[in-house]
Structure 1
């Protein structure tokens, strides 16, 4: 995994305060929760937790969350946000390709917008599988190859950002990691980037899904 986010971390959270960022966050969160189905007191692993966006959301639901990332600067921001909100979660510097957890340590595991920056996604998935208990859910959320958002992030407009180091995957490529245990795919972000800000809302995104085949972001559910 390229440790690009130890460099591109200072303004990472600012985008989530914009109207577009808030919409994206709502859409991705709704999609994740639908598939992960988190419950209070569950032990849940957040792979590539970054500044703790989803770690915090699940901690607010009384889940016992552990977030791992290879970028210490981002983990420091996550810890500060947890403290500000008086929430508790475990944060660890760790590479998903070699997790230092025992087998069957978690009720569920997920990764949101991190597989784009992982070198060996097969090893990453196998490690997530290993540490989840039988019957547990594994959700991989990623910017979808050939979708409008991936096309934008691959364009010259995003050179000089973290996305210059990203590799985007199709849903089919990720399902192929473990087709036997694949359960469901759920897409969002059917609206393309660079629309006027007031165009972005969940209802408009649902309407766009009627005419757009590929969501800009996809979540894939596997069950152990």
Structure 2
């Protein structure tokens, strides 16, 4: 995407802000909880962007391949990984047509990338194709039914050149309907974007983030701004050619 090429050099500036650090902390914990990555596993990061999750999992001991369609985003990812002496296989490719054989990866994940895919179900079927039997597919998306979704929609209206002008946000039912037999879905990022606490650097601490999440969920009845879903690929094909099962 040309738009992501244009913003690649400043994309990571979000993670240097207190709000960005808090959101990243919450989202990464949700993804880890569902993905259950193990050192040595072969992992594919679809729509890897500047390598946020690829680098995280490489540091954990996984063998990572990162895929993105944006040359600019991949250049940033490569630069960061090289600075950390991490051996990650970066490839420019379309999520709709992955350059891998069937049953190659133990874990496939895609985080805040499906929002920009024209055929999301086709992309997930392609992800399932390259997943080994017994493997996990993890999908993290921005939730449409939340204060965060409202913020992203407003940004798209106010700034037609924003990446969110091209984004499709997801509700829980829509996300789980993309493939059959979703094993589990998590909702998080309950703290609203306008909360004064979100701009406190300390909030990026995991325990502090948990406290803020709990308070927002219990006291404010907030709806989740981020959804993470998991599908397992069974060893025997019982529901379709890719063996999706609970």
TM range, normalised to the smaller chain? over 0.9
Equivalent-residue separation in structure 2 for 1:212 and 1:6 (angstroms): 38
Contact in 1 for aligned 2:121/2:179 (Cα 8 Å):
no
Cross-structure match for 2:242: none
Residue 37 (structure 1) shift? 0.5
1:46-65 aligned at under 5 Å gives the runs 46-65=45-64
Is 1:192 equivalent to 2:192 in the alignment?
Answer: yes
Structure 1 spans left out of the alignment, 5+ residues: none
Change in 2 beyond 3 A, CA 1:32/1:174:
same
Cross-structure match for 2:227: 218
Residue 207 (structure 1) shift? 2.1
Cross-structure match for 2:217: 209
Contact in 2 for aligned 1:3/1:70 (Cα 8 Å):
no
Q: Deviations over 1:2-46 (max 9, x none)?
A: 553122222110110111100011001000000000011100000
Cross-structure match for 1:88: 87
Is 1:166 equivalent to 2:167 in the alignment?
Answer: yes
Contact in 1 for aligned 2:55/2:81 (Cα 8 Å):
yes
Equivalent-residue separation in structure 1 for 2:126 and 2:76 (angstroms): 25
Equivalent-residue separation in structure 1 for 2:2 and 2:35 (angstroms): 27
Residue 179 (structure 1) shift? 2.6
TM-score (norm 2): 0.86
Q: Secondary structure at the match of 2:161?
A: coil
Structure 2 spans left out of the alignment, 5+ residues: 234-246
Residue 97 (structure 1) shift? 0.7
Equivalent-residue separation in structure 2 for 1:148 and 1:68 (angstroms): 30
Q: Which moved more, 1:157-166 or 1:140-149?
A: 157-166
Residue 183 (structure 1) shift? 0.8
Q: Deviations over 1:56-110 (max 9, x none)?
A: 0000011001000000011000000001111111100011111111000000100
1:8-157 aligned at under 5 Å gives the runs 8-155=7-154, 156-157=157-158
Contact in 2 for aligned 1:104/1:131 (Cα 8 Å):
yes
Equivalent-residue separation in structure 1 for 2:168 and 2:159 (angstroms): 13
TM-score (norm 1): 0.94
Q: Deviations over 1:108-134 (max 9, x none)?
A: 100000011000001101001100011
Contact in 2 for aligned 1:8/1:162 (Cα 8 Å):
no
Flag the structure with larger Rg: 2
Q: Secondary structure at the match of 2:9?
A: coil
Equivalent-residue separation in structure 2 for 1:124 and 1:55 (angstroms): 19
Equivalent-residue separation in structure 2 for 1:157 and 1:214 (angstroms): 23
